[in-house]
Structure 1
Amino acid sequence: MFPNRVVLFFVLFFSLNSFLTAQNADFVRNSLLQKSRQATKYFREQDFEKSLLLSREVLKKALLINDSVLIAASYNTIGSNYNEFSEFDKSIEYYKKALFYANKTTNDSLKFKVNNNLGNLYCFEKGQYELGIKHYKKAIFHSQNISNHTYTLLTSLNLTWAYFDKSNFEEGLLFLNYCNANFKEYGSDALSVVYQMVNGIYSSHIGDYKKARVFFEKAILLGYKYNELNDVSYAHNEFSKMLFRMGNYKEAYIHLNKFNEIKDKIYNEDKLFKASIAGLNLELDEYKRELTKIELIKEAQNQNLRKSKIIVILFVIVLFVLLMLIFTLIRNNSFKRKVNRELTIANNDLLLAKEKAEEASQMKSQFVSTISHELRTPLYGVIGITNMLIDEYKDLSKSQHLSSLKFSARYLLSLVNDILQINKIEENRVVLESMTFNIYDEIEMIIRSLSFLSQNNKNKVELLVDPKIPEYVIGDKLRFSQIIMNLVSNALKFTKNGIISIHVVLEKKEGKINHIGFKIKDTGVGIAAVDQDKIFDKFVQVGRNDTDYQGTGLGLSIVKRLLHLFGSEITLESAIGQGTIFSFSIPFESDLDKTNDLINNIRVDLSTSQIFKVLVVEDNRINQLVTKKIMEKNLYKCCVVDDGYEALKILETEIFDIILMDINMPLLNGFETTRLIRNKNISTPIIALTAFDKEEISEEAISAGMNDIIIKPFDQSKLFKAMSTLIYDAKNVG
């Protein structure tokens, strides 16, 4: 019995010892977490000495227990302190160490904070905007992983400020619009100062000084109210800049003086001296540790390739089948010759019919192409001049007649695009692409674009999206948008004083494939049962009378054919006077790795306020006026010539940053002009600005030496993005 008791005693002893060790480890970690939070609190109170001393203590113990979360948090706090001392290189060093350890964890909140801090430092202290914006976008990605909309809003405000700081107001406005749309729901007292300030910066930029003053004064008031001294100092500074531009030097001096007073208050010399002593001690600790050892990732590659017996067997089988076929062909050759004689007359007739059919198809394609080109050219002028009138004469921007003109022009452009789209689908020239996008944002943008039609018929649009649907999906965003656009616009046309509901639900998930169901319901006139089988045919319009304005009847036909490309079918439920419901399901892929790659590969326009020279080669006088106005409005220096010969002549004496080339010109067309330019060894980027369909001219455009193709009427943001990219690439190569 004695030996058994001894064994039992030791088992109990070691079990109890292990339990006590685990309990002690948890106690130590919880204690360190509390101290780490206290160090952060000291930093926010500008007590830098205490913050550094406590962070140093936590870091030592965290390294001993190898806790990556605590190590990263400590380095992040230390980096923040050095940032406040204006020792930016040291701050970056500690932030990078924090990011190294944070990336070892699954803590997206910690990764967000470090990336956001690096973004602030690179953008506003080092002036390295490209690197800073990259970290901001990583921060947004991590905030979305944990669905923290306040974090997303915070970084979006920082991105807005960064773009404004570089005078890139076009990109900054995109993020400002997001902040304005979401601040009420996800904003906080701490963010309100910066939120009001960036709105003030933008209002000042567009010349609305009265509105800007309201924003700045509100920012300053909120800053003092919530004791956000650092942010309120920047608000005083930005307000001072605006007042100086206005010529109000006295008030500008008052706010600049306020800025300096607050900074002096925050950065008390004695406080900073004590903190620097603590920082030196911390750096000594860093040198004592052997933290220079980096774990090397060994990539094991298997260099032994196994020979596949299946491939050899398949090759033998295919060879055998080919031999059998040759043997069969030889045996049946005599029989075929006899049959061929009998079918010669029939084949000749079929060939003749085939030639006529191909000729008719080619004529149809040429007709569609010619008509679309001839319509797009004047439409470009109509839309462009309408926008010019709205921009230059603000009183006309609310004119119903001008809005109707703009709507009609865009409607006609949509009609041309619909005819081209149905023609491409019938000729099997549409191939689905893979892009990452947000379903909610895409549908919301479509609803906003149709607001004119919605208001015209006094309709209300409701959008309900299942929260289980992934935030980002992968699929053909353009074709998906065309489907939703056609169905929603169709519902708005045939509904008056009603409700259009869009329901999106996750039906099932198979691995990375999400089967997402869509239902578009309206309370409109409805469709009779007898007409429901034919509404998806081309040019079919049901229930149209002389007072209706319902289009050409191509929308639903395009929807059905596009859904067929997605491998889906559309169903219809409707009755006269009871509205209509269209339903369908589309499989979309969701992949966080692909989404992350997309975010990291986003090209950000970091162009300065440099004015670039643009040569516009265009024979149409109205289009010359529109294109020149668009270029000059966006700070490009523009030179316009009427034909290719004039372009060649001016290029002998002047240098341009980019050339916008029309295709269909008299004397010398755009392709011939481009070839002659390239023969002169002129490498200036050339964009084809044309009303032809892109697929029809892309091969010849590339062979001629053109760099890109933009179709008129064009999306201005798309054109300027292409121009910026080509100019940037050309200057870097040069």
Structure 2
Amino acid sequence: MILKKIFPFLTLFCTILFFGQDTIQPKQELKKLLHDASVSFMDYKVETSMDCANKALVLALQYDEDEYAAKAYNIIGLNYTEFAELEKAVDFFNKGIIHASKTKNDTVKSWLYNNLGNVYCYHKIDYKKGIESYLKGLEFSKKFSDELEIAFSKLNLTSAYFTYGEFDKGIVFLNEAKDYVSQSDDLEANLTLNSLYGEYYSFYENFPKARAYFLKTAELCSKNTEEYLEGNIVEAYSNISDFYHKIGDDDNAYLFLEKHDSLEDKVYNKQRIQQVKSVGKEIENNEAKMQLVKMEAEKIVQDQKLRNTQVFIIALFLFFAFVFVLLLITVRNNKLRKKVNKKLLEINEELRIAKEKAEEASNVKSQFISTITHELRTPLYGVIGITDIIEEEHKELEGSTYLKSLKFSAKYLLSLVNDILNLNKIEENKVTLDNRTFHLKETLVTIKNSLETIARKNKNTIAIEIDEAIPECLYGDNVRLSQIIFNLMSNSLKFTQKGKVLIKAKLKKKRDTTLFIQFTVEDNGIGIPEKYQAKVFEKFVQIDRKDEDYQGTGLGLTIVERLVELFNGTISLESKEDQGTKVIFTIPLKEGQKEDATKKESIPVARREEKTTKEYYILVVEDNKINQLVTRHLLENNHFKCKIVDDGFTALESLEQEHFDAVLMDINMPKINGFETSKLIREKGFTLPIIAVTAFEKDEIMDKIHEAQINDIIVKPFDVKTFLKILQKQLDK
């Protein structure tokens, strides 16, 4: 049911609440005329209402009183809506909106838009325009914060949506209006609210609720003493009659249909309609006369202005003639400038598109590298783990060429994956320096010890030389520095046979607190031909690689160069074929405090002793069968008891049935991933340590790790010592 009678009385409030205490006679007359027009409309004295509104409109237009004109148009439009032509009603409401838009009175704007919506929706002229009008009315009613007006606007929207069968949209606004209307003693609002709820529940065939609301509607109709609400009651009786007809109660359907017909004949009689049309013609004639008077007045003003400007135009004529040539020159220059600007804009647009494509390609590349490294690391964990198991359990294969080749290939592939990922992170500016205090000598000795196996393989020796002018403790990123030196020295050892590799550190210069230290990695190996020296820092470049000997991925020196740039340092290479190679890089570091560098972490053992260590029960959540085998072997070989499950849901069931000391959680699993599984574990109140075992890079998933309340992370494939250290640390908490 459309609320076509919601706003007629608002014009009365307008005259009482929103008019100022103006002492000018025309305004006093306007207030009285609009008051009489509003009261007469509510009493269905349409001839008097239209006559008063017409007089008010003439007076308002005469004195350019837009607010009064808007209110007069509103009353005229309401009369046309009730008793005459709808097109004229729309026309008068739109005229009222034009005048109201020139004022700050949001109340009048709300009335006009709601009444316009009533015409469009109730009479099914234009549903879309009706909804738009109602929404604008609601917007303006919210501005002046009148809860009753807001409620009426929402009831209007509900009725519109219901009329066109969109009950799911309409019920939202009806529920929003319910609380205020139910507590209000406004008869019209409550009558409308109950009738709409009756319609809603009748549509969804909840007939008990629909009957209750329609009975309440009928009760409210019987209490009415106001003639202006009879139009609403006509519609209410129609809806109640339709409901009873729908449920097969023909007696009540006929009863309310008779009430509807009787009241409709009273409200919408031919005499009233004729009165509206009669006075409407007079209003239209008056409007035309007023427009003619305005046009004549404007013409007189324009003629006067024209005469006043003639002298000025003549005076300017000579000046315009003088500057005409200059204007032509300016126009020509402007055209040239526009052409240049247009070209620049086209170039800028091309650059923008190229930049977006480059960024998109970069993002795709990063995503691809991240995905492929993850997919490679997962099976590599199985390959390396199974190789270790075979080597440990089958001592007779210790010297097997095939087993060694398998282990070599797996480690080669892992090295390639790590190098690609590291290079990508550096190029994407995802690597930052983590500065801390460290001992330079200890760092170099540690690197030397780590490379002794490679050195012995080619019968090489490693030497260290440190300038005495360099302080014992330095402040900088020790990890990145170690990565640079390790890559350079391992490269030299691979290409040197029965020779020597030397690492030297020399204080090049000192500026304030910054020390510029020059590091040199020198060997007497095969050297690099001069034609290749300019390319050694490029990606995937390898010099004189032999098929039977592992020479690396071709990314080591590229990573070295990027890391040196990260330090804001410089790097260069000197080499002679068959005489050796020297790589020199210089980076800025600061002097560190000794006490900071003396803090060391205890080194965990690689294997737990069965006699001295408690047996822990570990739940392993892993969907890959090979990785299950490797992890089980690793745990049981180090005196841990474990249970393997394939997915997160099974893990939750196991935790509820058995006691575990920790969970090793794979992240990338079907059904439910490790993050969601961990969240469910925490929600169920389990506080045992959860350690993520994943092939994802740690820094890629740290936010999700914290969100899922996972205690720690182990990246596959992992070093056994690191694995045991992290697991034991969490178990000891």
Q: TM-score, normalised by structure 2?
A: 0.49
Between structure 1 and structure 2, the one with the greater Rg is 2
Q: TM-score, normalised by structure 1?
A: 0.49
